[in-house]
A and B are shown apart, each in its own frame.
Chain A
Amino acid sequence: MADPIRPDSADALATIIADAASDGTRLRLRGGGSKDAIGAPTPEARIVDMRGFSGVVDYDPPELVLTVKAGTPLAEIQALVADHGQMLAFDPFDHGAMLGCADGEATIGGIVAAGVAGPTRVSRGAARDHLLGFVGVSGRGERFVAGAKVVKNVTGYDLSKLVTGSWGRLVAITEVTLKVLPAPRLQRTLGVAGLDPAAAISAMARAMGSAAEVSAAAHLQDWNGAPLTAIRLDGFPSSVEARAAIITALIDGVAPVADEEAARLWPAITTAAPLPTDVPLWRIVAPAARMPDVIAAVGGRWLLDWAGGLLWLASTDDAQAIRAAAMQAGGHAMLVRADAETRAAVPALHPQPKALATLEERVRRAFDPAGVFETGRF
């Protein structure tokens, strides 16, 4: 396998991609490589290292807009916005450790391409909701711009949504413009121990449906030896207190979780850290109310995020059976972590119905007619 190529200008990248389209080389785009272990191995693909595109282009905090090169490390961006009391509101997180790599490697381009969403998905949305625009090079080897650098825009198709979660299969992203938001002054977590999945999901639904403006809600099968349902409130101190009172009145047995413990709890939920690492890891998205059925149908260890709408499942069950259970509940299942042999046999992304798969393929060909980015990974 040839060495990775590391372009640092859109022109150089465009030439690399156009050449690849001409001679049939497949290109695998890589940011920090923290997600290399997702999807089928692709020994033949040439790696394009996108970290040559690095640095902040523009950041004006009161405009709530940040423009950065796609290869910029996430950690650097988070430090910058934190200095101004702001945050990337979709909770991006470095999943290096979850996938057996070093932390601190994730790039913002990789985060966007992976369509990341942390626990606050339920209140503030995912990467898709915060990508305002981007610059990239298509599989045609053409540099183009989509979206804009203001928070409200409907000019032309919203290609930012398509590119988010496209896993490097549409466009090599060189620059992204993201919406940023003020970071909350205070976070407080309330917990209730001992609920079964159905009771936990129902408690979380009541909390989400109350005026308490819950930021995040999760349920762990085992935290300190017992099931824990955790509800987080973010905001101004007076507000957080008032909302904590609403939750306390609403859910029996709820008690504050100490700040130090909460500071360990939420990253653990985001990275599915409490689950065993030596079995395949699945990420199942389905309506929360149906999730107890999924849990009942599969074996393994699990935890629930997004008020029950996201199930992280570590399971040795048959892949087909897991996907069937997810579909039965109106959801879908992604294989996030597994040994190379399993990944070669089981597609990482949930297979789509035929008509939709055909349309998706037509959309991919609209960006990448020659299949330069089709490495066989997904």
Chain B
Amino acid sequence: MSIKMPAPDETVLARRGEIVAAMRAIVPGEGVIDKADELRPYESDALTAYRQPPMVVVLPETTGQVAAILRWCHANRVKVVPRGAGTSLSGGALPLADGVLLGMARFNRILDVDYADRLVVVQPGVTNLAITRAVEDDGFYYAPDPSSQIACTIGGNVAENSGGVHCLKYGLTTNNVLGVEFVTIEGEVLRVGGRGLEPAGLDLLGVIVGSEGLLGVVTEVTVRILPRPETARALLIGFPEVEGAGRCVADVIAAGIIPAGMEMMDKPAVHAAEAFVQVGYPLDVEALLIVELDGPAAECSHLLEEVETIARANGAVSIRISTDDAERVAFWAGRKAAFPAAGRLAPDYLCMDGTIPRRRLPDVLARMRALSEQYGLGVINVFHAGDGNLHPLILYDANKPGELEQAEAFGADILRLCVEVGGVLTGEHGVGVEKRDLMPVMFSEIDLAQQQRVKCAFDPELLLNPGKMFPELHRCAELGRMHVHRGALPFPDLPRF
């Protein structure tokens, strides 16, 4: 564990009894957990290399309770870490030794389904898949589909601005959320957006989505739902070299086609997946592409032909087209099993999440292979090819001394490489703890200070989920100061508006 969390405040630790009692006064019964063995399930999220039992877990059921908890914690200067299902891969829900872990799992009700305006209102602890389940019999679905969708909550999706294989065509969480109710650390219950298509005033909704639990606790979410496309079909295309696969992706888009999904796997990933699920992936190719097209049957068959022609022109050696839905699902099965497949290759793996301009793919994969040799650690690559979002899985064994640190250093080098070629540190998993200290690779001190001032506008005491996203949390008063310009005092009075 090379990334350090802020040192716990001894005075807060000493007040543990009083804090637990205060929480019990707000949430009765089983809703407050303080026994060491019962805290253990909450000690990490899906970034399992980092573990820290919280001081206490609180599981509220109503917005009123959330507001009371936050108001009390704010008044008493106690830190709060929100948690959904704990599937974050970036350590976003990692607890603090001196903090309250605010579990939102009991907010699990679907409040309203509205087909006239095509939206669903849910509590934040509802799982991503449960939204689709609630509307699929009527021919609708919720588009963003993270691979973790059976488990992850919509509140976590909002906090991480999660994506999925369909987000090239249908957008990330942020493009599919119409409104939220959230509670500020001061205990104020606010609504931004709603059932209309555009919020009034500043787009605070847009900045709350993706804020990783640092700006407020989301207590209700309104999402847009879409009618299920008439048909969906997929192609499974093998290439003898990565370059051809990369060119094929670019040519598909240049032809004006935005597939519902376009995923790439490198040779090691193909082998690992095939060994795990046996769906008939070709084993002699360097890159495998899955392209899914959806829409009316006429559109699908037309586009399948176009994509096939483009694939052949770029040297594809094997092409299969799904003839029924079972076959389409089989094409995806290997890709969707990439994580558990990696789990069979090594005891542990780290999942990275950088995005690059697609044109740099061959170059980046080659350099990744060189790094793999340098660190002596295996890496397999699955890749949202349509939008350039890489998911290298770094294989390691946490029981071998030093190997986690090596894996982390390897991962950091990959992310630096992503930024160097014009990309970013994270495409959908969030910064959290994992990428926090790499933020200066992408942003200057001034850029980061400006982001942190937004944090200060919502949470001036820095009590909500500290230790995540920002490499260094500056005191808000310090950030608010303006440099005195040319000896003159800053404009003193408050503006008219």
On whether the beta carbons of B204 and A374 are closer than 8 Å, the reply is no
On whether the beta carbons of B202 and A363 are closer than 8 Å, the reply is yes
Given contacts A148-B424, A153-B426, A238-B299, contact A359 B458 (CB under 8 A): yes
Given contacts A153-B355, A365-B457, contact A349 B447 (CB under 8 A): no
Chain A positions within 8 Å of B447 at CB level: 144-146, 156
Contact indicator per residue, chain B 190-205, by CB within 8 Å of chain A (1) or not (0): 1110111110111111
On whether the beta carbons of B428 and A238 are closer than 8 Å, the reply is no
Interface residues of B in 418-468 (CB under 8 A from A): 422-431, 435, 439, 442-444, 446-448, 450-451, 453-458
| Among candidates A164, A289, A361, residue contacting B497 with C-beta atoms closer than 8 Å | A361
Say which one of B30-38, B45-53, B383-391 lies at the interface with A.
B383-391
Interface residues of A in 114-129 (CB under 8 A from B): 115, 117, 121-122, 125-126, 128-129
CA distance A371 to B297 in the complex (A): 56
Contact indicator per residue, chain A 200-244, by CB within 8 Å of chain B (1) or not (0): 001001001111010000000000000000000001101101110
Chain B positions within 8 Å of A126 at CB level: 197-198
Given contacts A209-B115, A352-B201, A364-B202, contact A158 B174 (CB under 8 A): yes
On whether the beta carbons of A151 and B387 are closer than 8 Å, the reply is yes
Chain B positions within 8 Å of A371 at CB level: 491, 494-497
On whether the beta carbons of A156 and B431 are closer than 8 Å, the reply is yes
Chain A positions within 8 Å of B426 at CB level: 153-155
CA distance A159 to B188 in the complex (A): 23
B111 interface residue (CB < 8 Å to A): no
On whether the beta carbons of A370 and B210 are closer than 8 Å, the reply is no
A322 interface residue (CB < 8 Å to B): no
A181 interface residue (CB < 8 Å to B): yes
| Among candidates B116, B196, B258, B453, residue contacting A331 with C-beta atoms closer than 8 Å | B196
Of A144, A156, A309, A364, chain B has the most CB atoms within 10 Å of the CB of A156
A276 interface residue (CB < 8 Å to B): no
Minimum CB–CB distance from A361 to chain B (whole Å) comes to: 7
Given contacts A23-B488, A152-B384, A366-B453, contact A238 B254 (CB under 8 A): no
On whether the beta carbons of B210 and A121 are closer than 8 Å, the reply is no
Of B200, B204, B209, chain A has the most CB atoms within 10 Å of the CB of B200
Size bracket, chain B contacts: 35 or more
Minimum CB–CB distance from B487 to chain A (whole Å) comes to: 9
Chain A positions within 8 Å of B279 at CB level: none
On whether the beta carbons of A154 and B297 are closer than 8 Å, the reply is no
| Among candidates A142, A153, A166, A364, residue contacting B450 with C-beta atoms closer than 8 Å | A142
On whether the beta carbons of A205 and B446 are closer than 8 Å, the reply is no
A43 interface residue (CB < 8 Å to B): no
Given contacts A62-B358, A363-B457, contact A209 B482 (CB under 8 A): no
Nearest to B476 among chain A residues (CB) is: A366
Chain A positions within 8 Å of B137 at CB level: none
Chain A positions within 8 Å of B429 at CB level: 154
Nearest to A286 among chain B residues (CB) is: B196
Say which one of B74-82, B226-234, B262-270 lies at the interface with A.
B226-234
Chain B positions within 8 Å of A161 at CB level: 174, 203, 205-207, 209
Say which one of A14-22, A99-107, A336-344 lies at the interface with B.
A14-22
On whether the beta carbons of A370 and B203 are closer than 8 Å, the reply is no
On whether the beta carbons of B210 and A21 are closer than 8 Å, the reply is no
| Among candidates A65, A288, A366, residue contacting B454 with C-beta atoms closer than 8 Å | A366
Chain A positions within 8 Å of B209 at CB level: 158, 161
On whether the beta carbons of A148 and B202 are closer than 8 Å, the reply is no
CA distance A369 to B387 in the complex (A): 37
Chain A positions within 8 Å of B473 at CB level: none
On whether the beta carbons of A306 and B203 are closer than 8 Å, the reply is no
Given contacts A239-B295, A242-B297, A287-B196, contact A369 B490 (CB under 8 A): yes
Size bracket, chain A contacts: 35 or more
CA distance A182 to B250 in the complex (A): 12
B114 interface residue (CB < 8 Å to A): yes
On whether the beta carbons of B116 and A152 are closer than 8 Å, the reply is no
Given contacts A129-B171, A359-B184, contact A153 B485 (CB under 8 A): no
CA distance A369 to B482 in the complex (A): 8
On whether the beta carbons of A21 and B485 are closer than 8 Å, the reply is yes
Minimum CB–CB distance from A359 to chain B (whole Å) comes to: 7
B469 interface residue (CB < 8 Å to A): yes
CA distance A378 to B485 in the complex (A): 27
On whether the beta carbons of B446 and A144 are closer than 8 Å, the reply is yes
Say which one of B125-133, B159-167, B315-323 lies at the interface with A.
B159-167
B175 interface residue (CB < 8 Å to A): yes
On whether the beta carbons of A151 and B171 are closer than 8 Å, the reply is no
B359 interface residue (CB < 8 Å to A): yes
On whether the beta carbons of B194 and A330 are closer than 8 Å, the reply is yes
Of B184, B196, B299, B359, chain A has the most CB atoms within 10 Å of the CB of B196
A332 interface residue (CB < 8 Å to B): yes
On whether the beta carbons of B256 and A183 are closer than 8 Å, the reply is yes
B4 interface residue (CB < 8 Å to A): no
A60 interface residue (CB < 8 Å to B): yes
On whether the beta carbons of A211 and B227 are closer than 8 Å, the reply is yes
A367 interface residue (CB < 8 Å to B): yes
Chain A positions within 8 Å of B428 at CB level: 152, 154
CA distance A209 to B141 in the complex (A): 11
CA distance A65 to B457 in the complex (A): 31
On whether the beta carbons of A376 and B496 are closer than 8 Å, the reply is yes
A2 interface residue (CB < 8 Å to B): no
CA distance A57 to B117 in the complex (A): 40
A165 interface residue (CB < 8 Å to B): yes
| Among candidates B202, B359, B497, residue contacting A63 with C-beta atoms closer than 8 Å | B359
CA distance A349 to B171 in the complex (A): 28
Known A-B contacts: A22-B490, A154-B430. Give 16 more (CB < 8 A). A21-B482, A60-B357, A121-B198, A144-B450, A146-B447, A150-B423, A161-B203, A182-B258, A211-B296, A236-B303, A239-B302, A306-B197, A310-B197, A330-B194, A356-B190, A374-B495
Interface residues of B (CB under 8 A from A): 114-118, 139-140, 160-161, 163, 167-168, 171-172, 174-175, 184, 188, 190-192, 194-198, 200-207, 209-211, 227-230, 250-251, 253-258, 295-299, 302-303, 355-359, 384, 387-389, 422-431, 435, 439, 442-444, 446-448, 450-451, 453-458, 469, 480, 482, 484-486, 488-491, 493-497
The 7 nearest A-B residue pairs measured at CB: A161-B206, A371-B495, A239-B299, A374-B495, A182-B256, A332-B200, A366-B453
A-B CB contact pairs (8 Å), 8 listed: A63-B357, A122-B197, A150-B357, A150-B424, A153-B424, A205-B117, A213-B296, A331-B194
Interface residues of A (CB under 8 A from B): 18-19, 21-24, 26, 60-65, 85, 115, 117, 121-122, 125-126, 128-129, 138, 140-146, 148-162, 164-166, 170, 181-185, 202, 205, 208-211, 213, 235-236, 238-239, 241-243, 246, 285-289, 306, 309-310, 330-332, 349-350, 352, 355-357, 359-367, 369-372, 374, 376, 378
